[in-house]
Chains A and B, each alone.
Chain A
Amino acid sequence: MLLSPAEKSYLYESLISDPIIRPDSRSNHQYRPLEAKTSFLPGSNGSSRIRLSDGSECIISIKTKVVKLVEESNLIDLDIDIVGYRDDSNYISNLKFQLLNLLNENFEFEILKLTEQYSFKLFIDCIIINNLSYPLSLLSLSIYLALKTTRLPLLISETNDEEIAELPTFSDDWNDSKYLIELSKNGKFQPPIFITLGIIGNNLIFDPSQEEETVLENGLIISFYNNKVITPISNTNFALNSNNSNFKGLNKKIIIGALSLGNKYCPIILEALDNLIEEDINDNDGNMF
């Protein structure tokens, strides 16, 4: 959507004011309302779908494969498809690089391990049917939901195959399958997430909407794992085509402020998502809507 210079200026002024006035009257740390559903794809090990209030929609499917550990360099593969973008465009490649990097750095790979030789490999497929704002956070939250509800078949063969080479065999009964969290050693499996923060004046805003992105001074991407803000952290221009005339550098105070905001509010976001999963598992209707 194109805003006129007057509209932009109005939006900019209201966003830099203290206290901040956002067009949808959210506070600076509030996400847009989202609607989510998990485990609706019968052919996938895990799936999720998030719809945002502005019509953005993302569907994730996670499939697994048994692989030989020596033959695989990465145990997670990820593919993103966004309607209207080429697969080799900078936009998609960047999202892919960032998400893969985040997962590879901060994932409990131990839970995928089957035996000394074999392991599961996760294939995460992301489809964005519609997006208006920068989709990284939407993708990341959807992947979180999908990973949390991913189930792996129960291994019934021996886990020790050092002496006798043996192919892993699994229980036929899908009811025996285990959630990743149940396989986790410490019993709390929390995939990492990305949070997008818009920077405008001295204000930091969570989850900027499309209109807000057009007037932002800069954008910060922080990651959150194990109840702490961690690396990777980077900045980027959320608006497309370098046509954001307000784009500016950051200052040190803002970056440190982003850390403390992240540490304060991300646990609440994850708690909300966890509650959502619990409700969803309880009314397990297999319905997408």
Chain B
Amino acid sequence: MSDRRRLTGPANLIKPNIPEIVSNIDNKNQENTNSTSSIPSFFIKHAIINNANGSAYLEINNTIIEVSIFGPRPIRGSFIERGSLSVECKFLNHIIQPMQDSEPSKTGMSNIEHRLSSYLESCILPCILLEKYPKSTIDIQVSIISIDKSMVNSKSNSSLLWLMNWIVICTSIALIDSKIEIKDVISSGQIKLTRNGKIKIGIEDDEVEECIDALISFMNLRNDEIVGIWLEGNQSNLTESEMSLIIDECNKMSKIIRANMNSYLINNI
């Protein structure tokens, strides 16, 4: 008698949900999507740092981000059941940080760096299977090597959200490179919803009109689970239908970026 398990697989078998392969190898992401606004093309490369367990590099316009992941590595001291995660986002010293007050040479991290780190941490926490790594720690270090000029001059938070968006994406690639077990790859979408219902992607010159800037991160292959949400803006009102529209539009953008990440990973790993 043939081994039944060979044919049907184990009882707890899950079919992998394989996304459609998008045939754009060099990250030129716009041609074959039907999005009206455009996401600028971006460049990703993984495994650039030998000393790190996983690393990735991302360039979009003048924004350059590098992420390195160390771990899982053992910790000293008492036993912990689940891995512990630490995230640090840093601007390189020479960069003028967006929305920065006139105190550049402060020791330690700025409020903005802390905010970016904590957003990234709350995105990654639901994604990594920390229970697989008892008594270990995973350290994620994000360096922002360069940012767009328009970001520095911008008074609104939208530039911060835009930057955060790409940090999340770069970290996702680095996580895959580090071979740490994760539930799904995180990708995110960042949009601007104006008063008259227009959707804009990307950072533009400061406008006076009321708008909501939104950054929402998803695990698109896990029922579009939302792992991170960050809304800013100067609009005096936020209705439920606007919220629903924002989530849908971010999801759309997130899926486009995810498709690009998938095609990069299929071709390069």
B64 close to chain A: CB less than 8 A: no
Interface centre among A74, A236, A241 (most CB of B within 10 A): A236
Give the residues from 214 to 251 in chain A that come closer than 8 angstroms, CB to CB, to chain B: 218, 220, 226, 228-237, 241-245, 247-251
Do the beta carbons of B226 and A96 come within 8 Å of each other?
Answer: no
Selected from B112, B131, B235, the residue in CB contact (under 8 A) with A231 is: B235
Do the beta carbons of B225 and A259 come within 8 Å of each other?
Answer: no
Which residues of A are found within 8 Å of B110, using beta-carbon distances?
Answer: 93
Selected from A93, A229, A233, the residue in CB contact (under 8 A) with B229 is: A233
Number of A-B contacts (CB under 8 A): 122
Task: Looking at the assembled complex, report how far the CB atom of A89 sits from the nearest CB atom of chain B, in whole angstroms.
Answer: 8
Interface centre among B122, B239, B244 (most CB of A within 10 A): B122
Interface centre among B102, B110, B111 (most CB of A within 10 A): B111
Selected from A236, A241, A250, A259, the residue in CB contact (under 8 A) with B238 is: A259
Q: Mark B196-226, 1 if CB is under 8 A from A, else 0.
A: 0000000000000000110000110011111
Selected from A93, A229, A251, the residue in CB contact (under 8 A) with B111 is: A93
Give the residues from 99 to 140 in chain B that come closer than 8 angstroms, CB to CB, to chain A: 101-102, 107-112, 114-115, 117-119, 121-122, 125-126, 130-131
Do the beta carbons of B226 and A255 come within 8 Å of each other?
Answer: yes
Task: Looking at the assembled complex, report how far the CB atom of A196 sits from the nearest CB atom of chain B, in whole angstroms.
Answer: 14
Please classify the interface of chain A as helix (H, G, I), strand (E, B), loop, or mixed, using the class held by over half of its residues. Answer: mixed
Which residues of A are found within 8 Å of B131, using beta-carbon distances?
Answer: 245
Please classify the interface of chain B as helix (H, G, I), strand (E, B), loop, or mixed, using the class held by over half of its residues. Answer: mixed
Which residues of B are found within 8 Å of A172, using beta-carbon distances?
Answer: none
Do the beta carbons of B231 and A256 come within 8 Å of each other?
Answer: no
Do the beta carbons of B240 and A256 come within 8 Å of each other?
Answer: yes
Do the beta carbons of B232 and A105 come within 8 Å of each other?
Answer: yes
Do the beta carbons of B102 and A73 come within 8 Å of each other?
Answer: yes
B118, closest chain A residue (CB)? A94
Which residues of A are found within 8 Å of B231, using beta-carbon distances?
Answer: 231-234
Which residues of A are found within 8 Å of B84, using beta-carbon distances?
Answer: 241-243
* Across the A-B interface, the 4 shortest Cβ-Cβ residue pairs: A249-B225, A93-B114, A97-B111, A233-B231
